[in-house]
């Protein structure tokens, strides 16, 4: 198999809504769906293959059976599957939080840290999120403002618009605001340190756990250094246009806006991940074909070679090597 269609595990965190169920076809026996993990080999939620020889098996099972060669040479440096892709529906504000670096997380938590990227799929008018600080502050001021509940006076709140891109390196203070639907591409980690959570209580009726002391150790107390736009300009390709959203040492993410057929390549360097944000497509590699609609996630194995994507809509393409077009 070269094309694997994946079913996402879903999460029902208290700030979630129902757009993922109503618009993207996600399923969960809960009143809400906050997140769907569209590409995941994490122990807290595994992508499951639908159809074919490995129907009902996890993506981790497939990799174990076929060998890490299906991930590509660029994943050889990682002990674990390197990335995790989510759709996030924030009906309410998420906690103010931070993620640790690899060095800190591996030492303290036993898993990778988290650098991540947000692509704003949709948002309500006037929606905003928290991204770093307005200006640099000292460790002493940070601790004092956490203690006296004035931290939000110095955080950087940014109005968001559909199509915005936020690159959030580990150590960056952040919080997704209410009324925002996001595609999140991140390192394969579930380590989050909450600093402020609006006094909310969890399912057990108790205030949700905060991780203030750890957050003090890992938070960079400075304004963000990246613009909130795509890294590259839209480029015309066969069948549409392509935009580099963000490239970093862990992942490369492009947005494909298609109306027709385009050719991609999953070379020996990396697998490809396709997440359909809207529209409908047919993906074909040799004799293999798969239909994909809004909300569907597909994994194309490294070494597949050239394959075609035909249809109209928008796709988020992830790879861990140079552009698939150059592979």
Is residue 20 located within the same domain as residue 165?
Answer: yes
Specify whether 60 is located in the same domain as 130.
yes
Q: What is the 3-state secondary structure (H, E, C) of 238-292?
A: CCEEEEEEEECCCCEEEEEEEEEEEEEEECCCCCEEEEEEEEEEEEEECCEEEEE
The residue-averaged pLDDT of 23-50 equals: 97
The answer to whether residue 184 scores a pLDDT higher than 60 is yes
| Least confident piece of the model among 33-37, 66-70, 261-265, 319-323 | 319-323
Q: Is 194 a catalytic residue?
A: yes
Query: Do 120 and 169 fall within a single domain?
Result: yes
Q: What is the pLDDT of residues 238-249, one digit of tens each?
A: 999 999 999 999
- Quote the pLDDT of residue 207: 84
Residue 199: pLDDT over 50: yes
- Please report whether residue 159 resides in a domain: yes
Give domain status of residue 192, yes or no: yes
Residues 119 and 199 placed together within one structural domain of the fold? yes
Q: In this predicted structure, which of 13-27, 185-199, 202-216, 274-288 has the lowest mean pLDDT?
A: 202-216
156/224 Cα distance (integer angstroms) = 8
pLDDT score, position 80:
87
Q: Is the pLDDT of residue 251 over 70?
A: yes
pLDDT beyond 70 at 78: yes
- For residue 255, give its domain range: 235-326
Write down which residue in 189, 218, 247 finishes a domain.
218
pTM beyond 0.85: yes
Domain end marker among 218, 246, 268: 218
| CA 85 vs CA 45, 81, 118, 191: distances in Å | 11, 12, 10, 15
- Shortest CA distance to 129 belongs to which of 97, 107, 104? 97
- Percent of the chain at pLDDT > 90 equals 90
- What residues does 314 pair with on adjacent strands? 257, 278
Q: Is residue 150 part of a domain?
A: yes
For the residues 223-250, what does the mean pLDDT come to? 96
39 beta partners: 85
Q: Which of 194, 200, 208, 246 is catalytic?
A: 194
Mean pLDDT value of segment 171-187 = 97
- Region 162-166: mean pLDDT is 98
- Is 67 part of any domain? yes
CATH code of the domain containing 320: 2.60.120.10
Is-contact 324 272, C-beta < 8 A? yes
Do 28 and 88 share a structural domain? Answer: yes
Q: What is the pLDDT of residue 198?
A: 86
320 and 203 co-located in one domain: no
Answer yes or no: do 211 and 240 share one domain: no
294 dihedral zone (left: phi>0; alpha: psi -120 to 50; beta): beta
Whether pLDDT at 194 is above 90? yes
Residues 248 and 299 in one domain: yes
Average pLDDT, the chain: 95
pLDDT at 321: 58
Sign of CA dihedral 220, 226, 230, 233: negative
**Structural domain contains residue 36:** yes
Mean pLDDT of all residues in 207-214: 90
230 part of a folded domain: no
Beta strands in 124-230 (DSSP E): 128-133, 155-159, 165-168, 174-175, 180-187, 193-196
Mark whether 67 and 142 lie in a shared domain: yes
Nearest to 259 by CA among 316, 315, 312, 317: 312
The answer to whether the CB of 117 falls within 8 A of the CB of 165 is yes
The count of domains in the chain is 2
Domain boundary among 190, 218, 246: 218
The answer to whether residue 109 is domain-embedded is yes
Considering the domain architecture, whether residues 241 and 195 belong to the same structural domain is answered as no
* C-alpha–C-alpha distance, residues 62 and 54, integer Å: 7
Whether residue 20 sits in one domain with residue 154: yes
- Residues 129, 177: Cα–Cα separation, whole Å: 5
Residue 224 belongs to a domain: no
Segment among 87-91, 110-114, 138-142, 172-176 with least mean pLDDT: 110-114
What's the rounded mean pLDDT across residues 193-208?
A: 86
94 plus 152 within the same structural domain: yes
C-alpha torsion sign, points 21, 26, 28, 33 = negative
- State residue 324's pLDDT score: 46
Instruction: Give CA 270 to chain center in angstroms.
Output: 18
């Amino acid at each position: 198999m070269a094309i694997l269609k994946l079913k996402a595990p879903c999460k029902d965190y208290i700030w979630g809504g129902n757009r993922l169920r109503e618009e993207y076809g996600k399923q969960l026996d809960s009143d809400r769906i906050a997140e769907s993990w569209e590409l995941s080999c994490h122990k807290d939620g595994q992508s499951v293959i639908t159809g074919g020889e490995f129907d009902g098996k996890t993506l981790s099972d497939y990799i174990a059976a076929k060998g890490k060669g299906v991930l590509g040479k660029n994943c050889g440096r990682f002990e674990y599957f390197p990335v995790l892709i989510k759709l996030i529906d924030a009906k309410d504000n998420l906690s103010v939080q931070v993620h640790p670096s690899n060095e800190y997380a591996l030492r303290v938590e036993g898993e990778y840290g988290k650098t991540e990227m947000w692509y704003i799929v949709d948002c309500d008018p006037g929606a905003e999120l928290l991204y770093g600080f307005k200006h640099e502050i000292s460790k002493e001021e940070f601790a004092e403002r956490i203690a006296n509940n004035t931290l939000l006076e110095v955080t950087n709140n940014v109005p968001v618009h559909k199509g915005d891109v936020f690159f959030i390196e580990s150590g960056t203070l952040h919080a997704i605001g209410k009324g925002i639907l996001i595609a999140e591409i991140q390192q394969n980690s579930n380590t989050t340190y909450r600093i402020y959570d609006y006094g909310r209580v969890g399912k057990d009726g108790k205030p949700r756990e905060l991780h203030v002391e750890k957050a003090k150790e890992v938070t960079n107390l400075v304004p963000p250094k990246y613009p909130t736009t795509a890294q590259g300009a839209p480029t015309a390709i066969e069948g549409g246009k392509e935009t580099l959203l963000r490239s970093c040492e862990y992942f490369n993410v492009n947005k494909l806006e298609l109306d027709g057929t385009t050719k991609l390549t999953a070379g020996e360097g990396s697998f490809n991940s396709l997440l359909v944000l809207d529209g409908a497509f047919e993906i074909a590699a040799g004799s293999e074909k798969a239909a994909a609609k809004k909300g569907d996630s597909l994994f194309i194995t490294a070494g597949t070679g050239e394959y075609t994507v035909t249809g109209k809509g928008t796709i988020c393409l992830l790879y861990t090597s140079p552009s698939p077009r150059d592979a």
